[in-house]
């Protein structure tokens, strides 16, 4: 008799866990059904690809944020970082036309610089938090302001535009497709898979979780806490750089309004996906769904007149709060 | 109520309480009562159900069946600590103080005195001063909690309870983290509280203290009520046997003598680090070395410095005849040196995680195959650790925080042994652990030494230092006061060194 009880308990637990993990997927499914019932064009191939491409920026950045948050940190600077990297990248490429022409070489050097800048900016955030022993919130609040003002300064208060000679060469990175999916979506998929493997299957990922759960325990268990934490910010910077590389050919320009509030969208995607804000538990798969959910809300509002498009932020905010509320509430305990 | 006949007035009683968590029963028809002005000790092994019973008595958990009587009338205690308003206060093992607030703010937290809508700080200050003086606690009401020692924090908790006119004080292992002199002071307070008619439930693993302070003892085992007796009728051995349900004559394992020719594996010469000054010692292969002394005598700092957790200021450490200076725990681990922290919950285990990731965390590089974690190997290691260290769980899938203290300690040992160490340093290896598990841990340590692992035992519990160590170093204020071996190892000698009454030249 006790055996059957144990089995019952286990199957119940597995089911409950699934329900929690499946929450974001369910939410996305419901959103899709709502979208389709409002306008059948929602599920058209064109719209789906558009949705995925738009999710790619936030999604890629949010994968990086998943690492930072899982290890107990936070990075508020990602939006400004993306803006300043776009700006510097455009300046560098424009200046290289004279030397290397408007070909692939210039673009590749530009992309290389972008990655170096991203990794460098992340490293600065990381070192200031770990070696400087300043709270991540304060460090990244500071760098957020610095990067945002730098891009304004470089653009002299206006807009930095990519030379028209280069746009033709660079354009395909955002607009072309490979095997039916736009290139940004492929990058997104690549980052998501790599992120999942690193977080769930490598020692580094395990260490991130350990540090986020309890830094002292990690330290006493021979984890190099400072190095791991710094690395999470470097990964975040790298992801921002990747997102920038596919973002620049979209508009071919950067200004003070580039990437505004991306940090909040990235953090929101991570939290909707089930990662715990104070660290110790991270889910890359959830983050991907979170990014898709956020983009889908905006997309649905574009399709319908029922709710004004200006209320996009309101809808996103409601979804974030509801998602976290659903995750926190322990339905099984309440009934006892 | 078989005992109320000769007892004074019974304030709080649990009558045939049973409790199940889900399908798992943890208490079976347990009765317990507490009277005015008495100390009633509650003892039992880890997992015997003491914590659950305490939580039920304080209203934090409702019983599944049975009833609670307050002043003889059946009552449903209000949840979430609201029973404090009825005079029932539970002092948790992990103290519940707001670290960044002052002593007076903490004492009045949640029931601040106000006049005309503003805080009446002056009156509160005066009351706190009076209370602190009664308790004999020499701290300023404006001191920040984070600046106090653990013993002082505990006193603040008790003061806070007194300020709430507690009639019943339930204390979960209040002396676990206290030094002998602090314990003495604490007992004086308990006696004063008794005089005022406060009923005290005292949970402890230190049977000698139970014998000293309590009037009655209730013994529990495996969720069952084993007996309630006047303390005067029980010897320490009786208590231990009733708790464990078996003979405990072999609490300490038989000792193997260390080979006189055994090589020295770890040695320090004139090592200074932080408050550790000029410490020298040597540890042989297969030896169990005790480090005794009062809390704060620098024993933990000494070994944290050797293991790369604290910087070394000067002096030399030799491991296996090589001069070493580890800058990180991973270097020490790779060399075969592992330190087991005394702060099991704060520095030892990830309480929110499951057993397998905890088990492998310290030795994770060993579990990497093709850059990925080999999860099968992790599961095997866990199964091995569970078997080797007899970790008992209902369900291998539970969070480590839900394990009993004894099982957590065993898991911590298993985690440390996964690094295949040649020297292990165990800091307070049996803190907050029942007698049965203690006995097991002593046998593990002895078995490891017999296999050739060298062990350093840092402990404030003198009987265990005396019971399992080959040699004992006594520290005081960062320095080594003396070394004892053979028949010299006794409480008297250790105490004289530790108190600074004697020093080896």
What ipTM, to 2 d.p.? Answer: 0.83
**Candidate from A5, A8, A202 with C-beta closest to B372:** A202
Token representation of residue B160? 């806070």
A207 touches chain B (CB under 8 A): yes
Q: What share of chain B is helix, strand, coil (3-state, %, to 5)?
A: 35, 30, 35
A88 touches chain B (CB under 8 A): no
B371 touches chain A (CB under 8 A): yes
Chain B residue numbers touching A223 (CB-CB < 8 A) = 329-330, 361
Confirm if B86 and B161 have CB atoms less than 8 A apart. no
Q: In the predicted model, is pLDDT for residue B380 greater than 50?
A: yes
| CA distance, residue A201 to nearest chain B CA (Å) | 5
Residue A336: closest C-alpha in chain B? B22
| CA distance, residue A203 to nearest chain B CA (Å) | 6
A159 touches chain B (CB under 8 A): no
Confidence class for position B249, pLDDT limits 50, 70, 90: low
What does the pLDDT look like over B186-205, one tens digit per residue?
888 888 888 888 899 998 87
The overall longest dimension of chain A from CA atoms, in Å, is 82
Confidence class for position B247, pLDDT limits 50, 70, 90: low
| CA distance, residue B156 to nearest chain A CA (Å) | 26
Structure pTM? 0.79
Confidence class for position A330, pLDDT limits 50, 70, 90: low
In terms of Cβ atoms closer than 10 Å to its own Cβ (0-12, 13-18, 19+), residue B169 is buried
A332 touches chain B (CB under 8 A): no
DSSP A135: -
How many CB pairs below 8 A link A and B?
76
Section B243-252 average pLDDT: 70
Confirm if A123 and A231 have CB atoms less than 8 A apart. no
Percent of chain A with pLDDT over 90: 64
Section B309-338 average pLDDT: 94
**Candidate from A197, A213, A219 with C-beta closest to B329:** A219
Least confident range from A232-246, A260-274, B395-409: namely B395-409
Could you give the angle at which helices B121-135 and B150-163 cross, rounded to 10 degrees? 120
Q: In the predicted model, is pLDDT for residue A4 greater than 60?
A: no
Q: Do B348 and A217 touch (CB under 8 A)?
A: yes
A216 touches chain B (CB under 8 A): yes
B362 touches chain A (CB under 8 A): yes
Residue A197: closest C-alpha in chain B? B372
The pLDDT of residue A246: 93
Q: Do B364 and A203 touch (CB under 8 A)?
A: yes
Scanning the structure block, which residue is given the tokens 């460090």?
A139
CB atoms within 10 A of CB A163: 16
Could you give the angle at which helices A104-130 and A225-251 cross, rounded to 10 degrees? 150
Q: How far is CA B146 from the centre of its chain?
A: 20
B347 touches chain A (CB under 8 A): yes
The DSSP secondary structure of A84-121, one letter per residue, reads HHHHHHHHHHHHHHHHH-SSHHHHHHHHHHHHHHHHHH
Residue A8: closest C-alpha in chain B? B23
Q: Hey, where are the domains in chain A?
A: 43-331
β-pair partners for B70: B12, B73
Chain A residue numbers touching B339 (CB-CB < 8 A) = 220
SS3 per residue for B285-310: CCCEEEEEECCCCCHHHHHHHHCCCC
Section A161-176 average pLDDT: 90
Percent of chain B with pLDDT over 90: 40
Selection from A284-288, B117-121, B247-251 with the highest mean pLDDT: A284-288
* CATH 3.30.70 for the A43-331 domain, yes or no: no
What does the pLDDT look like over A19-41, one tens digit per residue?
567 788 888 998 899 888 888 88
Closest by Cα among B337, B255, B320, B251 to B288: B255
Token representation of residue A129? 């938090």
Confirm if A259 and A83 have CB atoms less than 8 A apart. yes
The more confidently predicted of residues B183 and A234 is A234
What does the pLDDT look like over B133-171, one tens digit per residue?
877 778 888 888 888 877 788 888 888 888 888 889 998
Confidence class for position B26, pLDDT limits 50, 70, 90: confident
Q: Do B361 and A202 touch (CB under 8 A)?
A: no
**Candidate from A9, A203, A209 with C-beta closest to B368:** A203
Scanning the structure block, which residue is given the tokens 């302070």?
B213
The pLDDT of residue A22: 78
A330 touches chain B (CB under 8 A): no
**Candidate from A13, A203, A222 with C-beta closest to B373:** A203
Q: In the predicted model, is pLDDT for residue B20 greater than 90?
A: no
Q: Do B373 and A207 touch (CB under 8 A)?
A: no
The pLDDT of residue A1: 37
Chain A residue numbers touching B333 (CB-CB < 8 A) = 222
Q: How far is CA B64 from the centre of its chain?
A: 29
CB atoms within 10 A of CB B41: 24
HSE at residue B198, side-chain half, CA atoms within 13 A, is 27
The pLDDT of residue A293: 93
Distance CA B481, CA B462 (A): 16
Distance CA A182, CA A248 (A): 15
Percent of chain A with pLDDT over 70: 92
| CA distance, residue A93 to nearest chain B CA (Å) | 37
Distance CA B46, CA B54 (A): 14
β-pair partners for B24: B21
**Candidate from A5, A13, A224 with C-beta closest to B328:** A224
Confirm if B443 and B464 have CB atoms less than 8 A apart. no
Chain B residue numbers touching A221 (CB-CB < 8 A) = 329, 361-362, 415
Q: How far is CA B303 from the centre of its chain?
A: 20
| CA distance, residue B150 to nearest chain A CA (Å) | 19
Which residue of A6, A217, A280 to mutate against B (max B Cβ within 10 Å)?
Answer: A217
Range A281-284 contact pairs with CB under 8 angstroms and sequence separation of 24 or more: A281/A70, A281/A209, A281/A212, A281/A213, A281/B352, A282/A66, A282/A67, A282/A69, A282/A70, A282/A199, A282/A208, A282/A209, A282/A212, A283/A21, A283/A66, A284/A63, A284/A66, A284/A192, A284/A195, A284/A196, A284/A199, A284/A200
B23 touches chain A (CB under 8 A): yes
Residues 297-326 of A with CB under 8 A from B: none
Chain A residue numbers touching B343 (CB-CB < 8 A) = 216
Distance CA A92, CA B135 (A): 72
Confirm if A224 and B328 have CB atoms less than 8 A apart. yes
Section B208-235 average pLDDT: 89
| CA distance, residue A54 to nearest chain B CA (Å) | 32
Scanning the structure block, which residue is given the tokens 């290691």?
B381
Q: In the predicted model, is pLDDT for residue B176 greater than 80?
A: no
β-bridge pairing B264-273 and B224-230: unpaired
The pLDDT of residue A18: 56
CA angle (B455 as vertex; B338, B315 as ends), nearest 5: 70
B336 touches chain A (CB under 8 A): no
Q: In the predicted model, is pLDDT for residue A91 greater than 60?
A: yes
Q: In the predicted model, is pLDDT for residue A12 greater than 60?
A: no
Which residues make Cβ contacts (< 8 Å) with residue B499, sequence separation at least 6?
B294, B476
**Candidate from B328, B352, B364 with C-beta closest to A206:** B364
CB atoms within 10 A of CB B55: 18
Strands (E), A96-188: 159-161, 177-178, 181-182
Chain A residue numbers touching B361 (CB-CB < 8 A) = 206, 210, 217-218, 221, 223
The H or E element that residue B428 is part of is none
Distance CA B105, CA B145 (A): 10
Summary mean pLDDT of chain B: 87
What does the pLDDT look like over A208-220, one tens digit per residue?
999 999 999 999 9
Alpha helices (runs of H) in B362-490, residue ranges in sequence order:
375-388, 405-417, 435-450, 462-468
Q: Do A202 and B371 touch (CB under 8 A)?
A: yes
Selection from A233-242, B187-196, B397-406 with the highest mean pLDDT: A233-242
Q: In the predicted model, is pLDDT for residue A270 greater than 60?
A: yes
Closest by Cα among B160, B11, B154 to B81: B160
The DSSP secondary structure of B256-275, one letter per residue, reads PPPPTTPPEEEEEEEEEETT
Chain A residue numbers touching B398 (CB-CB < 8 A) = none
Residue B362: closest C-alpha in chain A? A221
What does the pLDDT look like over A170-202, one tens digit per residue?
999 888 888 889 999 999 999 999 999 999 999
DSSP B168: E
| CA distance, residue A267 to nearest chain B CA (Å) | 23
Q: In the predicted model, is pLDDT for residue A122 greater than 90?
A: yes
B420 touches chain A (CB under 8 A): no
Closest by Cα among B82, B36, B22, B37 to B58: B82
Distance CA A19, CA A16 (A): 5
Distance CA B406, CA B436 (A): 9
């Amino acid at each position: 008799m006790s055996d059957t009880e144990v089995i019952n308990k286990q199957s119940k637990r597995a089911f409950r866990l699934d329900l929690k993990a499946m929450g974001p997927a369910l939410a996305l499914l419901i959103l899709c059904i709502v979208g389709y019932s409002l306008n059948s064009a929602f599920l058209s191939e064109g719209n789906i690809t558009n949705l995925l491409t738009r999710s790619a920026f936030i999604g890629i950045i949010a994968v990086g944020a998943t690492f930072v948050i899982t290890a107990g940190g936070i990075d508020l600077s990602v939006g400004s970082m993306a803006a300043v990297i776009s700006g510097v990248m455009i300046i560098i490429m424009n200046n290289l036309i004279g030397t290397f022409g408007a070909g692939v070489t210039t673009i590749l050097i530009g992309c290389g610089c972008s990655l170096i800048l991203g990794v460098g900016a992340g490293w600065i955030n990381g070192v200031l938090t770990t070696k400087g022993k300043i709270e991540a919130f304060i460090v990244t609040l500071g760098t957020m302001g610095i990067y945002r003002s730098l891009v304004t300064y470089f653009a002299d208060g206006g807009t930095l535009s990519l030379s028209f000679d280069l746009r033709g060469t660079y354009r395909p990175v955002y607009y072309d497709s490979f095997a039916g999916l736009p290139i940004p979506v492929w990058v997104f998929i690549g980052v998501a898979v790599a992120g999942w493997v690193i977080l769930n299957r490598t020692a580094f990922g395990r260490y991130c979780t350990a540090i986020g759960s309890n830094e002292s325990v990690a330290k006493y268990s021979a984890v190099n806490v400072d190095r791991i934490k710094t690395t999470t910010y470097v990964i975040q910077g790298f992801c921002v750089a990747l997102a920038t590389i596919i973002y620049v050919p979209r508009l071919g320009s950067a200004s003070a309004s580039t990437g505004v509030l991306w940090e909040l969208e990235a953090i929101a995607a991570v939290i909707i996906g089930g990662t715990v804000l104070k660290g110790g538990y991270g889910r890359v798969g959830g983050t991907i769904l979170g990014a898709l959910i956020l983009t889908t809300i905006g997309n649905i509002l574009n399709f319908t007149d029922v709710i004004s498009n200006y209320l996009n932020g309101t809808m996103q905010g409601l979804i974030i709060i509801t998602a976290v509320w659903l995750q926190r509430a322990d339905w099984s305990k309440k009934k006892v | 109520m078989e005992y109320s006949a000769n007892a004074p007035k019974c304030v709080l009683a649990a009558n045939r309480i049973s409790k199940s968590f889900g399908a798992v029963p943890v208490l079976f028809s347990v009765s317990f009562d507490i009277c005015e002005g008495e100390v009633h000790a509650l003892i039992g092994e880890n997992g015997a159900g003491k914590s659950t019973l305490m939580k039920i008595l304080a209203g934090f958990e409702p019983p599944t069946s049975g009833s609670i009587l307050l002043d003889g009338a059946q009552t449903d205690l209000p949840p979430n600590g609201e029973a404090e308003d009825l005079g029932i206060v539970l002092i948790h093992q992990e103290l519940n103080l707001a670290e960044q607030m002052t002593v007076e703010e903490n004492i009045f937290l949640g029931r601040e005195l106000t006049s005309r809508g503003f805080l009446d700080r002056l009156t509160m200050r005066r009351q706190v001063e009076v209370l602190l003086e009664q308790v004999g606690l020499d701290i300023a009401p404006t001191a920040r909690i984070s600046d106090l020692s653990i013993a002082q924090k505990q006193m603040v908790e008790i003061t806070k309870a007194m300020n709430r006119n507690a009639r019943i004080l339930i204390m979960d292992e209040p002396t676990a983290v206290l030094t002998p002199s602090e314990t003495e002071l604490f007992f004086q307070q308990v006696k004063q509280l008794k005089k005022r008619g406060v009923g005290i439930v005292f949970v402890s693993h230190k049977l000698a203290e139970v014998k000293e302070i309590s009037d009655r003892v209730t013994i529990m085992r495996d969720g069952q009520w084993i007996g309630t007796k006047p303390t005067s009728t029980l010897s320490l051995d009786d208590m231990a046997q009733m708790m464990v349900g078996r003979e405990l004559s072999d609490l300490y394992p038989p000792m193997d003598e260390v080979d006189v020719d055994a090589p020295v594996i770890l040695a320090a010469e004139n090592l200074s680090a932080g408050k550790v000054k000029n410490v020298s010692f040597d540890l042989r292969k297969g030896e169990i070395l005790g480090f005794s002394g009062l809390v704060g005598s620098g024993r933990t700092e000494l070994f944290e410095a050797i293991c790369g957790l604290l910087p070394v200021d000067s002096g030399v450490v030799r491991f296996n005849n090589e001069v070493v200076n580890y800058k990180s725990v991973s270097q020490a681990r790779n060399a075969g040196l592992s330190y087991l922290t005394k702060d099991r919950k704060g520095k030892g285990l990830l309480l929110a995680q499951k057993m397998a990731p905890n088990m492998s965390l310290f030795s994770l590089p060993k579990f990497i195959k093709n850059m990925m974690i080999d999860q099968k190997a992790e599961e095997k290691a866990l199964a091995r650790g569970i078997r080797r260290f007899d970790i008992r769980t209902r369900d291998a899938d539970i969070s480590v925080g839900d394990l009993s203290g004894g099982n957590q300690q065993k898991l911590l040992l298993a985690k440390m042994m996964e690094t295949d160490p040649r020297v292990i340093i165990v800091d307070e290896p049996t803190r907050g652990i029942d007698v049965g598990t203690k006995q097991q841990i002593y046998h593990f340590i002895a078995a490891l030494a017999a296999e050739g692992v060298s062990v350093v035992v840092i402990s404030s519990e003198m009987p265990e230092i005396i019971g399992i160590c080959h040699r004992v170093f006594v520290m005081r204020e960062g320095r080594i006061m003396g070394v004892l071996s053979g028949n010299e190892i006794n409480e008297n000698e250790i105490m004289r060194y530790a108190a600074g009454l004697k020093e080896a030249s």
